[in-house]
Amino acid sequence: MKRLTACIIILTVIAAMSVFSVFAVKKENDKFISLVNAAENSYRNDDSDTAQRLEELENAWNKYYVRISYIAQSCTLDDISYAVAKLPALLEKGSEEFLSECESIRSWTEKIYHTQYPHLYSVF
């Protein structure tokens, strides 16, 4: 009976940690994507504060990377790092690739969430 109780407790803890990690990823993604959207909107409107938005985005990315690197695959995080690093140069050039890099960052961030979401087929 003690083994059964121990197994139930262990499974409950694992399930709770899984749910917590999904909510943590979702919360971090929402904050990060809102900063990407703000930078993109600022670029589209030719605002003078686009560089400041990018600085906020880079700072947020550094914090996001530290938190999510324990959960997500590093190759996707590396792709986002490269894209975030390109943004200031693209802004300086006035390149239209700025918008496509923002879209790539959003899609990779969403990919992180979807790969961490527990599906029944991925659990068993």
10 burial level (CB within 10 Å; 0-12, 13-18, 19+) = exposed
Average pLDDT over residues 101-119: 86
Distances (CA, A) of 86 to 33, 80, 81, 115: 17, 10, 9, 25
Q: Given this model, what pLDDT does residue 37 score?
A: 93
What's the pLDDT tens digit per position in 41-65? 998 888 888 889 999 999 999 998 9
Average pLDDT over residues 17-39: 88
- Which pLDDT band, with edges at 50, 70 and 90, does 7 fall under? very high
Q: Where are the domains of the chain?
A: 24-116
pTM for the model: 0.81
| Whole-number Å distance between alpha carbons of 88 and 10 | 47
Average pLDDT over residues 16-36: 88
State how far Cα 7 lies from the chain centre: 33
**Secondary structure of 54-112 as H, E, C letters:** HHHHHHHHHHHHHHHCCCCCHHHHHHHHHHHHHHHHHHHHCCCHHHHHHHHHHHHHHHH
